[in-house]
Structure 1
């Protein structure tokens, strides 16, 4: 068991489950993850393998014997009739039959309708009165000759969700985890393998949880298919409901004018609209107007009555074009239905999640490690909705005075939501707050930039999306990643932030430039400069040629220091860098490349053979290649005999994992997503 899994089981015993177990017990049951993990939590919430094996079999038996498959509904009905009563798992919804003055239940899979239930059930579980709730219940059958009555009886019923959680215990246990460990625990809870995601990619995933933890939060995510946009909202919490975008009506969502019944916003914490995009989709313009008022004011009206609600709204859909195409020819809201393509409606969005940055899900992106039982986390997030952290960033930073009230509210709510998810115990450092604040600003700025493209009246808001460090007074501007990548689509290279560089020295007396905050786009790379490039998580359009190409010209001796050249993808990086050298260097003169790296016993023999083969291959084209292993190096750099030193924050390993041979990014560096890092250029 991994150290993190051991720690998870130590501090959250009985509240976590191994995430691969869900697949083992699901079979062909069409049931949400939180239902299965509720059952697994009853029998498998442990790290003891024997107990887990027994628990898996028990849950399989429960699913086999009690879960109602639609194609076996008649068999279940017969079983209930023959036995007199039988326990089942089904999705139940309840309606008031005002003619008979009684509540009646409908069963999604069993196919029964108008089964009487007591008033106490409707009062105890009001969500049954909406779109339905998964329940464990005992159904009875009483033969009767009385006309107009049904033999079916609901003997007892229990919605599938944890009855109570200890929020303070949860907060106290958080302090035993580092930021990275806690984020990985949450990512594993979502069923994903954190090793396959960069920090920014993890933030994108966790932002999907913000609507569950923040009242009246409006989120939109548009992107390619297959990235799991709707998974969280359908599988992770019994407090959220996923609707088809075309099935929403005013009566269903807000209030039924005929009966006076409150709609979904009165019962659910999160209402998510799936497949929301589609220009040709028919929509109700009146619904859009009511939604605009609700999303802005947290209220809706019926006649002269005004009602308040706290449900968050989430809109997920697929884009029709690439980001670069949309930015050049239209905008990032281009795929929305005509009636929702409304600046007043879109201005209510607190955050636009860039779905195009989320990788399509592969098998190796799912985890078999431990995470919270999702129902447990769902109850924690619900309890955290009562707390307000929207002002917490002001301990360290102030937003620019040019940012409008609506923009500030949006940024504050995104920050507060991520704060609750990642730092529920309230312990956050200045640097950690900065990470969340910059991400929150970016999510709102993405909305504002598109509104300015759609409606020039928004240009009147001369908003500077920046913030001020309250200690130093330094102002820092925040750009969206697509601004950085596509501001100059033809050139698309990062620019150095020039001096005067504030230099210190490290242990080797080598100069270290001060950190630079704002990368921009260069207009001329031939004029070589000292400075620094900051690459951001998920940034694309970067290649070794754009970073190093001009600096390699005129160099005949190149020393690469990188402690991690051992795994296949790391060796690929080395080969691609050497390929660049062959294009930039003058091969009529002798070229020397020397590699200094670290290796371990498990890799060293096989890797030495590869390097020897590389030496032989390069010798034939006039490059003298040599290498050495050192146990003391840590820093990463490229030193050139033409007077330049390039300090590499992550070495040559600047890219995230590709999807393999059938992924174009495997062959084209500019199509790969970067890992966040810094590259510094010094004149020696």
Structure 2
């Protein structure tokens, strides 16, 4: 007997061209056409980057710079020609490390050759000249003019990708280097009209603009929930906000360091164990300033690792810099504007860390220090990101990353931190340091999503909640580490009253989040516990589904009320939240307009699996579905095929399933002859997309899937059979 694999991608989703496919075989969406028309010359199809990159170990912004020159159009013939030009440039001018001797020979034979390579410069103090080193070409001590170094000072700190003309001129002197640098051009756009960028933004809705930004950093927005999109954008804040301190810890393979290595020529990614005080801040021996003086963002990769050791002097000077934007060099104090980012992998799950330590547990001992951690403005929950899969990459239009990087750099002079004050006011309990973190995160998100600084009250509140949550996550963990700190009421007041802010993991694991039952004294934790226990706003807490909890709670009496889930939370299952209300049912009606795509048919099958678990096997259960027909003939045919297959395959469980179509339905609900009506905000489609491989535990265990934001309302009816 053969077993069929889950199908992917689903109808309606963009398909990334596979290896060997024509990269121009692509149908743009309405948003893509709008992007191409609004930003001619500064957008590029993101799938083309992968198509031309091949084995070249070259940053994305280098490739997009070239594609922006030759393929920034929606004309397929021009794209095809542009791709070939870019491939030709990479083939003829990009220096592969393994071919450096061949390129050196080519320069010698031709006398002159143009290359693309990473160039770094150092000062030869004995001869009082600057000398360039070419990373892939493998040559050094190439004299470079002081004017060129003054024009491009980042050549002195870590190197810059450049297009260079190299000349070979052997003089016969064995002490003299034969290489000459004829010209050098850093790979970056030369023009930027920030006013035009800001004005053109107004042609897009907030959702369209957010999707454009997500496509610009390389991801398919159709595969991400709204909360996940915002968390992706938080990763960009260090480029748009000065002196912003961000940390992200989470599982491997979620793209934590991608933004800082590939996105911008103004960012530097370094290994957490390969930095020293002279390299990062200042070299006292020669007075040369370090990385923070030249880069907008300095990111530390592989920062986690409890066994790692860090220089205590480095930690101390870093703490001072993160708090005061300055550092000392002997008796002199210097300032800088570089943001600091710390990314690392976690070895344990969130509930394990909450039970046994804290969410900073993976950091080296020297950094697991309240004084250091208190300077972090926001903590990005890396465990909320999916591991990167092929279908998650964008095939649509996005900004050439170097163009967007220049926009973000120019916005660092702006300050939108007070734009929420017209609509809401933060809790007075929030300290100055907490408030600074919230302000910086909010200001950064405003610059990214609303560059004009203007937005509606609901949009502003959504960004403020993300900002408050990011700082709250830091502070709540500090309370675990340092018992002398005072708990804070994180939230804000609006015209409708007080609104507490909680973290997703706080709602998901309320019994683990606050040690010794200590909450944050604003009702957040108590309400979360009440929701879990079924008493918040009268909500019911359905029976358990095998989730490991400590202590395991007894299922309470079913009650009327509402139950809310925030986006990204785990722990939801049909067994737990539907099963208790369907137990013993003989007739069930489902109204859900959207049982169309394969994953929605899977949801329906899993719901019927729950019905089979909680109903009497000796009796037949009638389940009737009312849904809308799909709008296209081919998809409608497939919809009927799926429903007929479900109808045939559920008979083995004693379920008599049938269905009907209705074009006018809108509301979503489940009605059972047990006397309960379950009103569903999103219907059965509450789960975010995930890998449907048989090897993914989420395929069989709903509790490990992340959910979208939704509500369930339980209503007791008087017509129990």
TM range (shorter): over 0.9
- Any idea what the Cα deviations from partners look like across 1:114-154, whole Å, max 9, x if unmatched? 11111111111111111110111111122213463322111
**Aligned 8 A contact 1:495 1:533 in 2:** no
Q: State the Cα distance separating 1:658 from its structure 2 match.
A: 2.3
| 1:1-50 CA-partner distances (Å, limit 9, x unpaired) | 21010000010011101111111221221110001111111101111111
Determine the structure 2 residue equivalent to 1:670.
703
Q: What is residue 178 of structure 1 aligned with on the other side?
A: 205
Counterpart CA distance in 2 for 1:337 and 1:142 is 51
Indicate the residue corresponding to 1:627 in structure 2.
659
Partner of 1:220: helix, strand, or coil?
A: strand
1:15 matched to 2:48? The reply is: no
Cross-structure match for 1:486 = 509
Distance 2:151 2:650 in 1: 76
Could you give the per-residue CA deviations for residues 616-668 of structure 1, whole angstroms, max 9, x where no partner exists? 55456544333210000111111223332211111011111221211001000
The equivalent residue for 2:155 is 128
1:467, 1:522 → 2: CA distance?
A: 33
How many residues end up aligned between the 2 structures? 661
Indicate the residue corresponding to 1:35 in structure 2: 62
What secondary structure, in the 3-state scheme, does the structure 2 residue paired with 1:294 have?
Answer: helix
Distance 1:586 1:41, change over 3 A: same
- Which residue matches 1:464? 489
Q: Please give the residue correspondences for 1:177-196 in structure 2 after superposition, counting only pairs within 5 Å.
A: 177-196=204-223
- Map Cα deviations across residues 359-415 of structure 1 (whole Å, 9 max, x no partner): 100111112211110000000000011100111111211110111111111011111
- What is the match of residue 412 of structure 1? 439
Give secondary structure in 2 for the equivalent of 1:332: coil
Q: Distance in 2 between matches of 1:327 and 1:272?
A: 26
Partner of 1:639: 671
Query: Gaps spanning 5+ residues in structure 2: where?
Result: 1-27, 514-527, 540-550
Q: CA deviation at 1:433?
A: 1.1
Alignment map for 1:339-354 (pairs within 5 Å)? 339-354=366-381
Give 2:606's aligned residue.
576
2:691: which partner in 1? 659
Can you list the C-alpha shifts for 1:227-252, whole angstroms capped at 9, x where unaligned?
11111100000000000111100000
Report what 1:431 is aligned to: 458
1 CA distance for matches of 2:714 and 2:223? Answer: 30
Measured after TM superposition, the shift of residue 604 of structure 1 is: 3.6
Q: 1:100 aligns with which of 114, 127, 142?
A: 127
Which residue of structure 1 lines up, in the alignment, with residue 712 of structure 2?
679
Say whether the 8 Å CA contact 2:479–2:487 is kept in structure 1: no
Range 673-682 or range 307-316, more displaced: 673-682
- For the structure 1 residues 299 and 675, does the alpha-carbon distance in structure 2 shift closer, same or farther, using more than 3 Å as the test? same
Matches within 5 A, 1:21-420: 21-146=48-173, 148-420=175-447
Change (3 A) 1:176 1:494: farther
Q: Paired residue for 1:508?
A: none
- 1:543 aligns to 2:573 (yes or no): yes
* Cα distance in 2 between the residues matched to 1:38 and 1:312: 25
Superposed displacement of residue 529, structure 1? 1.9
SS in 1 for 2:601: helix
Q: CA 1:256–1:638 in structure 2 vs 1: closer, same or farther (change >3 Å)?
A: same
Superposed CA deviations along residues 251-287 of structure 1, whole A, max 9, x for unmatched, are: 0000000000000000000000011111111210100
Matches within 5 A, 1:588-607: 588-600=618-630, 601-607=633-639
User: Bigger shift: 251-260 or 175-184?
Assistant: 175-184
Deviation (angstroms), 1:568: 2.0
Secondary structure of 2:119's aligned partner: strand
**Conserved 8 A contact 2:538-2:559:** no
Separation in 2 of the partners of 1:606 and 1:341? 55
Distance 2:255 2:653 in 1: 48
Unaligned runs of 5+ in 1: 502-520
Give 1:509's aligned residue.
Answer: none
Aligned to 1:476: 499
Q: Distance in 1 between matches of 2:318 and 2:464?
A: 27
CA distance in 2, matches of 1:368, 1:592: 44
Inter-partner Cα distance in structure 2 for 1:136 and 1:614:
60
Change (3 A) 1:615 1:33: closer
Q: How far apart are residue 162 of structure 1 and its match?
A: 0.9
| Alpha-carbon distance in structure 2 between the residues aligned to 1:498 and 1:486 | 16
Instruction: After superposition, give the CA deviation of every residue in 1:582-625 in whole Å (9 maximum; x if it has no partner).
Output: 22234545532211011123344444344345445545654433
**Separation in structure 1 between the aligned mates of residue 296 and residue 503 of structure 2, nearest angstrom:** 29
What secondary structure sits across from 2:398 in the alignment?
A: strand
> For the residues of structure 2 that align with 1:295 and 1:481, how far apart are their CA atoms?
27
CA distance in 2, matches of 1:47, 1:211: 32
2:177 is paired with a residue of what secondary structure?
Answer: coil
Classify the secondary structure of the residue corresponding to 1:679. Answer: strand
Instruction: Answer with 614-623 or 428-437: which moved more.
Output: 614-623
Structure 1 residues 376, 644: closer, same or farther in 2, change over 3 A? same
2: distance between equivalents of 1:124 and 1:583?
71
Please say which of residues 253-262 and 151-160 is displaced more in the overlay: 151-160
TM-score norm. by structure 2 comes to 0.89
Judge conservation of contact 2:317–2:327 (CA < 8 Å) in 1.
Answer: yes
Judge conservation of contact 2:355–2:512 (CA < 8 Å) in 1: no
